[in-house]
Amino acid sequence: MNKEFLKYIYIRLLRNLRRIFFIIPIIRNRVVFESFSGDAYSCNPKYISEELRKQYGDSVEIIWAFNDPNKFKKELPKEIVTCRYRSFNHLIYRITSKVYVCNFLQAIEIPKRKGQLEIQTWHGGGCYKKVGVAEKGRQAAYVKRQRMHVEETDLFITSSKYFENEVVKKQFGYKGEILSIGMPRNDILINLPISSQVEKLKEKLGLPNNKLIALYAPTWRSGTKQYETLDIKKLTQAVDKKFGKKCIVLFRSHLYGNQSYDDVVDVSQYSDMQELLLLSDILITDYSSSMWDFSLSFKPCFLYTPDLKDYLDERGFDEDIHSWGFSVSESNKELVENILQFDNEEYRQKMKNHHQFLESYEQGDAAKRVVAKIAEYCNLYRG
């Protein structure tokens, strides 16, 4: 028996044992949030949580589960209750919640009960790397655990018609109700940001207002094979020359990555990727769905993919990477050339075409529309 199969059997047994706690009544106004298995206060759950608190205040009880609750206390409003992920308190909060919101598909140790609403926001969009049953190399037991969570989901939030049909329905096998509204985390990128909001974020990170901000945010990789690393010096020189302004590079590794670079501002511990995208003028990534988010602002995004051939074999894409509309560079030399040849009007048109091809649902009001669903289900009132 392999490890994944044993884990699947263990979870099945654990879920059955925990049903004994179903004798505890559900609390009508209790909503539990989780992001990336308790590792972050971020992504779609964060923006739904903040909109919920903004609209309904004390009439709703908001719970967040973290692996290290103390890490996020400064970020959280004092009214929000926290608990340790996978603790006994977490179990009780989940079992007695009226609504549960999360952005991943492995939170299945705690069974859902009748009378609860489970909202799946996921943490990506677009037509990029494959997931679910389409992802290469995943063991059957892993896919079964994912399917178990999918079957307990009541509402699935989608960013585009393409993502809804190709990923949510086909790759995840979801058959329930879908909220075709865009991702709540992208509302701040679509609605024009107030300049003071960007300045405040820069001040928080100690960044000057008179320089361009280039964010390098590669996705997670499971292998150990080495590829040509991003040349920060060549990158900044190319950006300076093309855009006529000095550049500072921020580096944010994936939540589960451990890369590091010299001569950059490391923002890997900054939990909110959307705020980093908001303050950045340029994005360099590879296969991360952050490119979808960033494309909504029409700011320049460049793909640096030195491992493209291997990644294509190991993971695969929903659509050809060269059809996404972003320039693709497999070496530092190509990246410099693509930056120097960048044409803003051409890029804007490519992004519009990309959004039209995927049939984007992003309108900038997703968080409000999810909150309306929660309020209706919980019978909340504005106090």
Residue 139 above 60 pLDDT? yes
Distance (Å, whole) CA 324 – CA 359: 13
Sheet with 177-180, strands from edge to edge, namely 81-84, 61-66, 30-33, 99-102, 117-120, 155-158, 177-180
Q: At what angle do helices 232-243 and 332-340 cross, to 10 degrees?
A: 10
pLDDT at residue 108 in the model: 82
Enter the CATH code of domain 193-358. Answer: 3.40.50.12580
pLDDT digits (tens, 9 = 90+) for 290-343: 999 999 999 999 999 999 999 998 888 999 999 999 999 999 999 999 999 999
pLDDT at residue 256 in the model: 42
CATH 3.40.50.620 correct for 3-187+364-378 = no
Q: Model confidence at 383, in pLDDT bands (50, 70, 90)? A: low
Alpha helix ranges (H) inside 57-138 = 88-96
pLDDT at residue 354 in the model: 97
| DSSP line for 208-224 | -SSSEEEEE--------
Please give the residue that has the higher pLDDT: either 381 or 359.
359
Q: What share of the chain is helix, strand, coil (3-state, %, to 5)?
A: 45, 15, 40
**pTM summary value:** 0.93
Helix (H, G, I), strand (E, B) or coil at 120: strand
Domain boundaries defined on the chain: 3-187+364-378, 193-358
Residue 36 above 50 pLDDT? yes
pLDDT at residue 255 in the model: 42
Mean pLDDT of all residues belonging to the chain: 92
Are domains 3-187+364-378 and 193-358 of this chain identical in fold? yes
| DSSP line for 13-39 | HHHHHHGGGGGSPPPTTEEEE-STTTT
Distance (Å, whole) CA 317 – CA 135: 9
Tokens coding 288:
């991360």
pLDDT digits (tens, 9 = 90+) for 168-225: 999 999 999 999 999 999 999 998 767 778 999 999 999 999 999 999 999 876 655 7
Residue 137 above 70 pLDDT? no
What percent of the chain stands above pLDDT 70? 94
